[in-house]
Amino acid sequence: MNTVCSVDGCERDAVARQLCRTHYRRLLDNGDAQADKPLRTFNGNGYVNHGYWRVPVPPELRHLAGGRSSELEHWLVMAQLLGRPLRGDESVHHRNGDRLDNRPENLELWSRWQPSGQRVQDRIADAVALLRRYAPSLLSPRASGRRFRCHGQLPLDFPN
């Protein structure tokens, strides 16, 4: 018969010493259940881990994730595109550098571990797309050599 965690306001089932799993783990690690510290809750849609989106893997796709019930979303998206799990010497690179942007067109498969940073050509393409969207006049031939101020905060000089 499970009881409820003895920490005020916690409604999770107690697993040991009348504490839920999280409060018991905190007690073991810190000597205190840290009742004032909030509990992380999951809504089933995933969560951010080290800047990457981690999502639950449906049972029918677990063969693509090595049987795991959760996986980094960009790995899962790439595995679905390939129709197979990623190999140990493969990684997935975010072309625009945004670790949360897991659209297939932003991901590319690398055959060995990627170096830090991004390719200059990808950064330039993203910059041009940003200018096309928010400041297309700066891409006109008349704009070359012109000084641009981003609301007075960041002066940029464009080369001739």
pLDDT digits (tens, 9 = 90+) for 21-55: 889 989 998 899 999 887 765 556 778 878 899 99
Nearest CA-CA partner of 94 in 61, 116, 79 = 116
Label residue 129 by pLDDT band (50, 70, 90).
Answer: confident
Q: What is the pLDDT of residue 70?
A: 92
User: Which of the pair, 73 or 89, is modelled with greater confidence?
Assistant: 73
Write out the two tokens for 95: 């072309």
Rounded Cα–Cα distance for residues 100 and 158 (Å): 30
What percent of the chain stands above pLDDT 70?
Answer: 81
For residue 160, pLDDT over 70 is answered with no
3 pLDDT exceeds 60?
yes
Identify which of 138, 117, 115, 140 has the alpha carbon closest to the alpha carbon of residue 127: 138
